[in-house]
Chains A and B, each alone.
Chain A
Amino acid sequence: MHEWALAEAVITAASKIAVKEELKEIKEIIVKIGELQQVDEDILIFAFNQLKKDLFRNTLFYIVKAKSKLECRVCGFKWDFKTQNLDENTVESIHFVPEVAHAYIKCLRCGSPDFEIIEGRGIWLEEIRGVK
């Protein structure tokens, strides 16, 4: 239930935005999750529903998945992150701290570990819709 901690971060961030924008109720939250972290959508939604109270009692949560794109800083090669060639422990480690991907993944063209995660790293708050 690492997803629970991420859900709590989303709720806390949304609460701060609600205070700033004087929202009395949050109707919808759209969260973007990157493939690299392999957040379990069902557990995340379950966690959101467990955390629903006050401003969030009627909130609908939507999840948008984003492909993870990596780009080699050495040779410029771009590729999509895939878990197929990684063992279970590695996938689990990247799930907790996506940056450890640099220990396990190399550029598919030149073999360098010096790549950038250009898209789809972790979890992002994309949209909040509320009532003033």
Chain B
Amino acid sequence: MKLLDPRSSVIDKRLKRIRRVIAVSSGKGGVGKSMIATVFALIMAKSGLKVGLFDLDFTNPSTHLIMGAKNVLPKEEKGIIPPFFNDLKYLSLVFYSGDKATPLRGVDVSNALIELLSVTQWGKLDVLVIDMPPGIGDVVLDLIRLVKKIEFLIVTTSSQIAFHTVKKQIKLLRELKVKTIGLVENMKMNKIKTIQEETEKLDLRFLGDIPYDSTLEESIGDCDKLLATNFSKMINHTLLIKEI
């Protein structure tokens, strides 16, 4: 018999009690995925939902910085139990890599992802929000392969360069028949409707735009401050009021 990696077999079981798994994703980097994923997860948790946040940007994790998550660590009990932080069940590779640079090639990214998916005991959740690395590489392909209930929430900025990359991602997800909830236009600084029109031409739901918030940087590291920003109010309006 050929050697078989047993880990993938148990992933369905680990995610069985999670109602929705939403990957906040973009073909382009620097569009604000981590900020949107984190604030979206925090708002849902504050509204009483059982929410998890899983940072899969292994080489550049940032959700711990956004939330100011210090002195929290997973427990070990029949696997990894993510700690609670600000009402979220939270997991990031940073718990294991610390602040050290962690250069990973594709095969290592896949292995780390499969390891964490197969040993993490998330328990019952309404939503697991995933902060994705930029691009349409290993993590996107592995999640599509391993997580049957995955849904993608696409983020772009108003930049035509960002949107050009994002369009390719939308087409790929469509070809692979993966559920795509819609698109958010982040850091908007004008009133031009090009991104909205182009998104609707792709027959994808345009969820809304989020204006550039110059005060957001001052709120990094403090969840209460983050939730009081205009950015947070706009996320609430764009993603929750619309009942995605």
Interface residues of A (CB under 8 A from B): 1-2, 4-6, 8-10, 12-14, 16-17, 32, 93, 96-100, 102-104, 113-114, 117, 121-128
- Give the B interface residue count (CB, 8 A): 35
Among B3, B76, B80, B115, point to the contact of A125 (Cβ < 8 A). Answer: B3
Do A5 and B9 touch across chains, with their CB atoms under 8 A apart?
no
Do B97 and A93 touch across chains, with their CB atoms under 8 A apart?
yes
Do B79 and A12 touch across chains, with their CB atoms under 8 A apart?
no
For the complex formed, measure the closest distance between the CB of B20 and the CB atoms of chain A, giving whole angstroms.
Answer: 23
In whole angstroms, what is the CA distance A75 to B97 when docked? 24
In the complex, chain B residues 45-99 whose Cβ is within 8 Å of any chain A Cβ: 58, 76-80, 93, 96-98
Do B102 and A13 touch across chains, with their CB atoms under 8 A apart?
no
In the complex, chain B residues 75-132 whose Cβ is within 8 Å of any chain A Cβ: 76-80, 93, 96-98, 100-105, 108-109, 111-112, 115-116, 118-119, 121
In whole angstroms, what is the CA distance A2 to B121 when docked? 10
In whole angstroms, what is the CA distance A60 to B112 when docked? 29
Report the number of A-B residue pairs with Cβ-Cβ less than 8 Å: 108
Among B5, B9, B80, B96, point to the contact of A100 (Cβ < 8 A). Answer: B96
For the complex formed, measure the closest distance between the CB of A77 and the CB atoms of chain B, giving whole angstroms.
Answer: 17
Chain A residues near B116: list those with CB within 8 A: 97
For the complex formed, measure the closest distance between the CB of B195 and the CB atoms of chain A, giving whole angstroms.
Answer: 36
- Which residue of A has the minimal Cβ distance to B112? A99
Do A97 and B10 touch across chains, with their CB atoms under 8 A apart?
no
In whole angstroms, what is the CA distance A44 to B219 when docked? 45
For the complex formed, measure the closest distance between the CB of B3 and the CB atoms of chain A, giving whole angstroms.
Answer: 5
CB of B241 within 8 A of chain A?
no
Among A96, A104, A125, point to the contact of B6 (Cβ < 8 A). Answer: A125
In whole angstroms, what is the CA distance A8 to B12 when docked? 12
Chain A residues near B78: list those with CB within 8 A: 1, 4-5, 8
Do A126 and B3 touch across chains, with their CB atoms under 8 A apart?
yes
For the complex formed, measure the closest distance between the CB of B137 and the CB atoms of chain A, giving whole angstroms.
Answer: 15
Do B4 and A13 touch across chains, with their CB atoms under 8 A apart?
yes
Chain A residues near B161: list those with CB within 8 A: none
Do B76 and A1 touch across chains, with their CB atoms under 8 A apart?
yes
Do B9 and A12 touch across chains, with their CB atoms under 8 A apart?
yes
Do A114 and B6 touch across chains, with their CB atoms under 8 A apart?
no
CB of B13 within 8 A of chain A?
yes
Chain B residues near A103: list those with CB within 8 A: 97-98, 100-102
For the complex formed, measure the closest distance between the CB of A51 and the CB atoms of chain B, giving whole angstroms.
Answer: 11
In whole angstroms, what is the CA distance A117 to B108 when docked? 9
For the complex formed, measure the closest distance between the CB of B82 and the CB atoms of chain A, giving whole angstroms.
Answer: 12
Known contacts A5-B10, A93-B96, A128-B1; is-contact A99 B108 (Cβ 8 Å): yes
Chain B residues near A14: list those with CB within 8 A: 6
Do A102 and B108 touch across chains, with their CB atoms under 8 A apart?
yes
